Amino acid sequence: MSESNHENDHERIERARNGEADDASALVGDGLTLSYSTSERPVVECDRIDIPRGEITALVGPNGSGKSTLLKALSKQLAPDTGRVLLDGRAVHEYDDKEFARELGLLSQENESPGSITVEELVYHGRYPHRGFFEQVGEADHRAVERAIELAGVDHLREQTVGNLSGGQKQLAWIAMVLAQDTDVLLLDEPTTYLDLHHQLRVMETVQQLNERRGVTVAVVLHDIAQAARFADYLVALQDGEVYDWGPPREVVTEELLADVFRVEAAVSYTPDPEIVPKHSL
């Protein structure tokens, strides 16, 4: 996406936020109040959040700012107390479970699987929403799985059992599984946390390719704000369960944001990649 296009989208979404009908957003959270049964106060109170269609949007914010909770609500895993989530303009609770899973894929922060299944078997599970109860694996399933394995770059691992993989390889295998789900929207919850640099880049590049080649809308929770600024088309900065700022990285990642949201005094420069250098130790 070119810079001017961004501006256009930005304007269109701004218009949509003002109530004018628009389909620039694949996913919209409207007037959301989110809480868990164990918490007294709402974790997230957010008037409006847009995930622009065909772009990579990064959700950033300090620990406990409600990023993952928001992602759960957007992916229909958590029912909001108030407000609603719209996918392609239709409320998510109106979708049938499998139908929804064909439109939107989610990779959670922590994934567990039996250690003895192979990577290929894991990836085939991604086809679950596309298959009826009695349906066997079909040609479309094979193609989707092959494509996902190729895109995630786990071809050399396909015969390995998941239990024998390193953390980074495991994450790529799981990403291959959500890719096999073949959705137009993909939500990822901290996919790079705990990974070494090599695997972090592999994961983010996979996401980027998916976005570029297949036009998949991506929303990803990231811890590393520099990484977010580098890979994402849009940033949503959250603070205490509210949207602090929203827009292209260059507009959002400012020294003011770092000070307000992350409580870090740092210098921000673009060379052209964003660089964030703390001014002094905490």
Partner 1 sequence: MAGDARTNRLGGARLFDWVDATLVSVCLVSVGLVVLGGLVQVSFGTYTMTLEQAWRAVLDPIVLFDPHWLLNFFVGEGLMRTLTGFEGTLTELPTTTLVVWNIRLPRVLVGILVGANLAVSGAIFQAVTRNELASPYILGVSSGAGLAILLTLVVFSGLAPFLPLIAAGGGAVAFLIVYGIAWQNGTSPVRLVLAGVIVSTIFQSLQTGLFFFANDLAVVQSAIAWTTGSLTGVDWQQVRLALPSTTLAVALAVLGARQLNVLLLGEQTARSLGMSVERTRFLLSGVAILAASAAIAVAGIVGFVGLIVPHVVRNLVGSDYKRLVVGCLFVGPALMVLADVGARLAMAPTQIPVGIVTGLVGGPYFLYLMRRQQNLGDV
Mask 152-181, x = binds partner 1 (CB under 8 A)? -------x---------------------x
Closest separation between CB of residue 97 and partner 1, Å?
Answer: 5
Cβ distance 70 to 32 under 8 Å? Answer: yes
Considering the complex, state which of residue 145 and residue 258 has its C-beta at the smaller distance from partner 1.
Answer: 145
**Taking CB under 8 A as the rule, does residue 3 contact partner 1?**
no
d(CA 64, CA 62): 6
Considering the complex, state which of residue 108 and residue 217 has its C-beta at the smaller distance from partner 1.
Answer: 108
d(CA 45, CA 179): 31
**Taking CB under 8 A as the rule, does residue 116 contact partner 1?**
yes
**In sequence order, what E strands does 81-142 have?**
82-87, 90-91, 104-107
Quick one: which of 133, 197, 271, 273 contacts partner 1 (CB under 8 A)? 133
Binding window for partner 1 (CB under 8 A); candidates: 17-25, 49-57, 130-138, 256-264 = 130-138
Question: Residue 35: which residues within 8 A CB-CB, separation 6 or more?
Answer: 41, 42, 43, 44, 81
Binding window for partner 1 (CB under 8 A); candidates: 43-51, 82-90, 95-103, 205-213 = 95-103
**Taking CB under 8 A as the rule, does residue 203 contact partner 1?**
no
Q: Strands 56-60 and 217-221, how do they pair? A: parallel
136: Cα within 13 Å, side-chain hemisphere: 2
Considering the complex, state which of residue 29 and residue 249 has its C-beta at the smaller distance from partner 1.
Answer: 29
**In sequence order, what E strands does the chain have?**
25-34, 44-52, 56-60, 82-87, 90-91, 104-107, 185-189, 217-221, 234-239, 242-247, 266-270, 274-278
**Taking CB under 8 A as the rule, does residue 136 contact partner 1?**
yes
Quick one: which of 3, 20, 40, 97 contacts partner 1 (CB under 8 A)? 97
d(CA 275, CA 279): 12
Quick one: which of 15, 90, 98, 143 contacts partner 1 (CB under 8 A)? 98
Strand partners, 235: 58, 247
Binding window for partner 1 (CB under 8 A); candidates: 83-91, 127-135, 230-238, 252-260 = 127-135
Closest separation between CB of residue 281 and partner 1, Å?
Answer: 38
Mask 34-63, x = binds partner 1 (CB under 8 A)? ---x--------------------------
d(CA 137, CA 10): 41
Considering the complex, state which of residue 160 and residue 209 has its C-beta at the smaller distance from partner 1.
Answer: 160
Closest separation between CB of residue 273 and partner 1, Å?
Answer: 32
d(CA 176, CA 210): 11
One-letter amino acid for residue 109 of the chain: Q
Query: Helix, strand or coil for residue 189?
Result: strand
Site residues, partner 1 (CB under 8 A): 37, 75, 77, 97-102, 105-108, 111-117, 120-122, 125-126, 128-129, 133-134, 136-137, 159, 181
